[in-house]
Structure formats: C-alpha cells, structure tokens
Structure 1
Amino acid sequence: AKGYQGEMDYMGKHGAKRTRPAQLHAGTIRVISARMDYSPRAADPGAVLADRGKAFVSRYALGRDYHKLMRDRLQELRARIEREAGAFGGRVFTDSAPVMEVELARKAGLGWRGKNTLLLARDAGSYFFLGEIYTDLPLPVDAPAAGHCGTCARCIEVCPTRAIVAPYKIDARRCISYLTIELKGSIPEDLRPLVGNRVYGCDDCQMACPWNRFAQRSVEPDFALRNGLDAADLVDLFAWSEEEFRRRMAGSAIFRIGYERWLRNLAVGLGNAPTSERVIAALRARAHDPSELVREHVAWALARHARKGAAGERDDGRVGQARERGAAHY
C-alpha cells in the first residue's frame, strides 16, 4: 500500500495466487519446501566492504545461477517420492512464480522469518536458497518453526540505507539489493553514497545476524567462486567490454541485469572509491558512453570526486565503521 515494492509490480498483481497455492497449480493441497545452502569459500566480505577500491558482490551471486540446479534437484526429489508413493500431480518452483517462499518454508518448519524478512534456520543461518514442490499428495503437515530472534535488532541497525523500516518490513526502494538488481533506471542520488562499493546486492543484514555463525559451506561445484568476484577491483571490472561481460557472466545471476546496469552500479562504486588518477581516468573513459544511464552515473561520480578534491578531504580508502569491518559468519 505504501509502494514499498518499488518497480516490482508483480508482487501486487498476483496476490491471490501467492496466498492460495491451488490457484497457481490446480489440485495442490500440500507444499514441500526445501533449502539449498550456497555459502562459498570466498574472501572475507567485511574486508571487501572496508576496501572501497574493491567491488562487493552478494555471496549468492559469486558462483553460477542456482535456478537450474535447484529445479533439477527438486525434480529428482519428486521422482523419488513417486517411486515410493506412485504418480502424483504436482509442479516444481524455484523463484519462478508468485510463491510465498519464506512463509511456506516457515510453515513447513524449515526456519522462522527474521526481522530482515529472510528465513533463518538454527543450523544454517540464512545463506540458502528455497524451492518448492506443489503436490496433490495428502502428506502429513509439519509444525511451523518457532522464532529465535528475541530482542536482537542487529539486521535493522546495520542496514546502510535504513531500508528495514520496522521488524519484518522492508522498503525495497531503499534496499541496496533492489537498487543494484531490480531497479532498471537511475539510482536515487541521495542513496548513491550509501551504496558504497556494493555493485550487486547487499549482505549487510546477513553478515550481522548471529545465526549466520552456523551457516553451512556449500559443497556444490556450481556455487564455487567464479571470475574472482569475491574481491575484484572496481576499475578492472569497469574496463570490461560488453562482450567480456557476457562471456564472464554467462551462467551467473549477474548476467540478468545486463551490461548497462552493471556499468551503472560500478560507476556508483567508483564514485564512492578513494580518489586517484586511476579511478578518475576510468570514469572519464566512460563519460561519453552510448548509454544515457551510464553517462548520468559517471557524471555524478566525477562530480563527487571533484567536490572531495575541492574540499581537500583525506581519503585512504578504508571504511572504519564496525558494521563494515566485521562479519558474523566469515
């Protein structure tokens, strides 16, 4: 009602289907909810955030896109169930339809909803993907998981843009994950300095969560680090051609945002980076980019460095806030 969904209009358009599974797949009387851990072995995210010359990429996007793997595993699970119970009507979902994944997983006992709205599990934190099998099998119903956040509000306190406006409520228009992934146009100017060096997603609320001390390392080869994106140099990434972006990001979740928005995000990161001849040269090289969106963010970044230079600000590229130095899990 307050427009918290931003450009994600689909969240309102499919309200009935989201809350009534049988309207999404006829005959559904049960939902099997499953999780897949994705946390890879990677550079300390707190250290990457603190070094503003580096690009921070959300941990879930460091490997290959998960949708196909998760879908294949759920199809395997369905086949196993059919071998035991016989053929049944059903459908597999992996973030591919209006499914209330977190609420279904909570009701299935996989975990509870954290104040950052993510599902939390005592043995896994929140570094996992969710998927579902809608089925007409009359399976026994599991008990919902109890919540274990208590009075903790670290996720709310640590959010760089104050996007978590209240426990269990997010204004997506301020969320860095939304701004760098879902938003198609310009990132609001007042939020650009707060984005920092986060060029794809944001994990601050997860890094601050005490339960992520128990997050499980993924053993899936698909989720292993690719292209050194755990601690890549902003200038190096900004130099990629579109062909190089497509080649390197093929099979990655990042591929979905496209080259133009990738450059937009990097321009913001470079605007927040330590001022140096190398950074300025990289930005100037894109000042006449064919994309108006890219040109706008490059111009902002150059103006930001000019203001810092005029003010004589000292900038050593290290961020001192405790929230960007530490990581609960890493």
Structure 2
Amino acid sequence: MKIAFLCKRQYMSKDVILDKYARLYEMPHQLSLLGHEVAGFCLSYQSHAEGVWNETTAQKKLLWSSKSYLGLKKIGLLAYPLYLLKKLSDFQPDIIIAASDIPHIIWGAWLAKKLNKPFVADLYDNFESYGQAKIPLLRNLFHKALDQASLVTTTSHNLAKKIRTEHPAVKHVLALPSVIDKALFKVGDQRQARQQLNLPLDVPLIGTAGGLTKMKGITDLFRAWEIIKQRDPQVHLVLAGPIEVQIPIPQDERVIYLGLLPHQQVVTLFQSLDVGVLCIPDDAFGQYCFPQKAYEMLATELTIVSTAIGDMVELVGQHQELLYSSGNFMQLADCVMQQLQHYQKLDVHIPDWSENIQTMNGYLTL
C-alpha cells in the first residue's frame, strides 16, 4: 500500500527527519518496515533546510520531503495545501495519514477528499488545548476533519474516549500511546549513572526531566520540595529540561540543575534517581495526554510518583499510593517520602513502536 504521511518538522524540540525522533518518525518508519511505500511530507515552522531525504533500503521504502517558509515567505504557507495536492496527485497514495497539529489534520482531510482517498488522523495530544484552537474557524474545521476520518489514533485512552463521544461517525478510534526505545531506556547501574552525571553517590535523589514550566505542572514539585527538604536532610532534587523566568528553580544547595540533557543522558538521569516525579496539570492538556516519560522511567525500573490524572490512574493500577491530586503539593511530598522508604516498583507492559504500529496497520486495511 502507498501511504502519504503529513506532519510538522520539529517535534518536542527535535528534528523529525534528521533526529529520527519519536512518534512522528516512528509511525511512517514502522509502516515502511511492514512493506508499505511511505512518502513523508514535513512542514517546518522554523528554519530547517528544505530538501529530500531518501531512507529507502532493501527492508523499506521511505522518502521524506520538507518545505520551509521563512521570513517574508511565510505568506507562502497559504499555498502549502496546493503544493501537497500536486505532490500527492503525483504519488497517488492509497491512504493519507495526517498528524502533529490542527492545520495538518485539516489539510489531510481536505487532500483526502480531493483525491478520494481514505483519511487517518493521529492525535498525539488533545490539540484543542493548543493555541491554534483559538484561531477563528480553525477549531470547527478541525472537528469536521475528524468526522471525515476512517481511523483516529490517539496518544491516550482518555483522549480516545473523548473522540468516540464527540465524533461517533468515526468508524475506528484506536488508543496508541507514545512509547519508547527500549534498547535505550533500560535498567542500569545506579552508582555508575551518578558518576557519569557528577551527582552525589550516597544520598537519596529525587527528580524529573522535561519541561520545568508552569504549563507542565512543575509548580507542584517545587512547592513539595520545600517540605521534603525539611523532612530529610540528605535528599537532593535533580532536574533537567527547559525552564522559564516566571517559575525559577528553587535556590538551594541540594537542588541540582543539569540543564538540557541529550536524549541518551536522560536515561542516565533516570537510572541515577531513587524516585522519579511526574507532574501533570489538571487541564485540557493533562487530562488527555499520555506522559511518555512514565514509560521511560518505568523501563529503568525507577520508582515513580505521579499526578492522579488521565491514563496514569489506570497505569498504576492498585498502587494508588503512587498518586497525588493535582495542586496538592503536601500530598506529593508525603508520597515521595513514603516511596523513599518503600520503593514500590510497577510491573507494567511497555510496548514498543513495532508492536504499536502492527496494531495500527491492522486497521488501515479494514
């Protein structure tokens, strides 16, 4: 089958094509490994170079194309759907998959209608929580596009339930959580991991990696830290990820900020910790997301504490002691202190991308 895959170029600060990063890369990559001929079309909202990247081998057929509209050329964005229409008319896909944001979902549905092809929408977040949803008409066009889809894949079970309720005309809705590279995220030697990152060797370490911002709910952890540090004079807080001026990192000699770590070193950080913390905001984003970071932490057999929201409630199962209510930093502090004593390990199945996309592939031929 010939598949056209449409998405943005930059995802979670990574280049989808060159970094071969996560969901937006793995979906077309894994589909090509299943024998499909895949053409990926990326739109750069930043300053990525335009071009064509051919990843075709004896095992797969995958060709990437990328367009950029910089500076005064941004007006050219209005013509991007017509550019795609020409490309897809030449390629003649059997199915069109659109992902990454509201505009791509709308464009994908329009192209599928123009070319009379089946349309698939992939939602790696609740896109209605994004600023794009506030642009006049865009929200309505987004919902109309979803109604046109024969399959909608979502990042979480909660988001899948939302789509089934709001778009009953969609024949298939499949929860397809973003998963991880299990060859990278795995159990390691804690002492060696701490040595690699120049962390204290013989004290308890708690922490997290990712967006250290108010939007991501990090305020809960920063407030909880003020309680935790009083209860345990040895424990240290280790943080990595982008920060913002409005929510400064706690100024404390037992707070260690590692900056922006390469993906490979995030593994090392999780291997070095005693307890990993997942702060998820109770809003239109947090309620429907699936934190990939949870799988990353659990793959290293790290004890976790998380906000009790969305799919995390189901993920921890009977171990509700690992959850705290959003905004309740005192409860978060209690949970962390409890786990520094008990180190509850979760035994959950972590799928890989090959497994996930094989499941998705079964729906593409229905």
Fold match (TM-score > 0.5): no
Q: Identify which of structures 1 and 2 has the higher relative contact order when contacts are C-alpha pairs closer than 8 Å and 6+ apart.
A: 1
The structure where strand makes up a greater share of residues is 2
> Normalised by the size of structure 2, how large is the TM-score?
0.23
